[in-house]
Amino acid sequence: MSSTVEKQSKLSVMNTYQRFPITLVKGKGSYVWDDSDKQFLDYTSGIATCNLGHVPTAVQTKLKEQIDTLWHCSNLYNIPSQQALADELTKNSCFDKVFFCNSGAEANEAAIKIAKKYAKDKGYDERTEIITFNSSFHGRTGTTMAATAQEKIHQGFTPITPGFRYLPFNDTASLNQLYRGKTAAVLLELVQGEGGVNPASQDWIKKLQEICEKEDILLMIDEIQTGIGRTGTLFAYEQFDIEPDVITLAKGLGSGFPIGAMLAKEAVADSFQPGTHGSTFGGNPLAMSAGLATIEAIEAEGILSEVKIKGEWLKAELEELKTAFSSIEEVRGVGLLLGVQLSIEVSLFIDAFRENGILVLAAGGNVLRIVPPLTTTKKELKSFIHTFKLILAEIERTSL
Ligand SMILES: *Cc1c(COP(=O)(O)O)cnc(C)c1O
């Protein structure tokens, strides 16, 4: 009896997230509304996921059609929309084949598995390690947590999955430790998202690609956050003048519908054959219709060129704020994945923004992460900058 009472007074959802004290019940375009009908400008985009804004009509229509037709049939049977989305993704990239799954971590799991299998198939029996980089984020499953080179993410989960070695990000000198006869693949983000919005330097990434090519090490780019137009091109790698062997996608690909994908060049993709990998839900008709509608909308509506323009405008405005406010240490990022390094606790800013009707994110290393919907308007961007200016003045007045 008393235990039931006690039980009812506690939340029955596991306590894995620190949640802000608001409940969102509705979204449209750049805005969300809470349960008291308060409106917020959403510059988190559901953590870089709702790239077309909330409930984009093009995706909504396709999903509704699919809801009335077929939800799920498993991969025991042909799913034509998988082929259609894979065609769309390969047509617009340097890759030949796609594996579909349901999340970012699963996409990275698929990448890690194919890298191991590729090494085995090639007879590289000594190549058992995958290199990742400090401050990276690759997911929360047992293996992708191990791929994530952040001590705090491993805490309490030892022994973590072996087979990963960590090197410093953007450090050319340490690249000579890369191969040593043991490396099957490298896995990295071109703009580290959760780790603090850290873009890779062009020189470093070129050097990394050179070594990978020379030693037949797979270059695998985690585009889960940077992909699907976030940086101003469909994939971020296009702007770094490299051709990876593998990329992974998730967040923006389904406009909020759960989906993940691992794209590979033919020679690598051939290492997956029936029985080597799979997923019950992966590539189901609902997810595929969300993905297809998303990619078609991004291509058709000329969104990408606008992301560049909006991103450059926003970055210039943030640089301007930096000259006026001493608590801004640095402005970083590409396209509409921007970070502001702060000298005052970032949570103060996030709370102040929320109180002023704007949702923003934090990233590691005390960084304010700004990831608007790619469809955000100039007017919304201006109102964001206006509010940021007021908040900076107020926080600096009371904290410095
Ligand atoms: C979010 C994210 C992941 C993990 O994706 P989940 O869908 O949460 O599993 C992996 N890598 C990067 C770069 C991410 O931003």
Q: Is 138 in the pocket of ligand 1 (CB under 6 A)?
A: yes
Whether residue 369 has its Cβ less than 6 Å from ligand 1? no
Mean pLDDT by 10 residues, the chain (400 residues): 57 93 97 98 98 98 98 97 98 98 98 98 96 98 98 96 97 89 96 98 97 96 98 98 98 98 98 98 98 95 94 98 98 98 98 98 97 98 98 93
Token pair recorded at residue 321: 């704020």
- Asked whether 184 lines ligand 1 (CB < 6 A), one says no
Nearest CA to ligand 1 atom 15: 225
137, 281, 367, best to mutate for ligand 1 pocket (most atoms within 8 Å of CB): 137
Q: How many CB atoms lie within 10 A of CB 76?
A: 6
Q: Where are the domains of the chain?
A: 1-42, 57-300, 319-336+378-400
Specify the residue with its C-alpha closest to ligand 1, atom 6: 104
Ligand 1 pocket: which of 44, 143, 194 to mutate (most atoms <8 Å of CB)? 194
Two tokens, residue 81: 């929309």
Determine the residue of 224, 248, 249, 255 to mutate for testing ligand 1's pocket, defined as the one with the most ligand atoms within 8 A of the Cβ atom: 224
- State the angle between helix axes of 285-300 and 303-324 in degrees (0 to 180), rounded to the nearest 10: 70
Question: Sign of the CA dihedral 135, 136, 137, 143?
Answer: negative
What are the pLDDT digits (tens) for 253-277? 999 999 999 999 999 999 999 999 9
Per residue in 135-189, pLDDT tens?
999 999 999 999 999 999 999 999 999 999 999 999 999 998 888 789 999 999 9
- Tens digit of each residue's pLDDT (9 = 90 or more) over 344-383: 999 999 999 999 999 999 999 999 999 999 999 999 999 9
222 within ligand 1 shell (Cβ under 6 A): yes
Sign of the torsion formed by the C-alpha atoms of 359, 361, 367 and 370: negative
Tell how far the Cα of 225 is from the centroid of ligand 1, in angstroms: 7
C-alpha of residue 184 to centroid of ligand 1, in Å: 22
57-300 is classed in which CATH architecture? 3-Layer(aba) Sandwich (3.40)
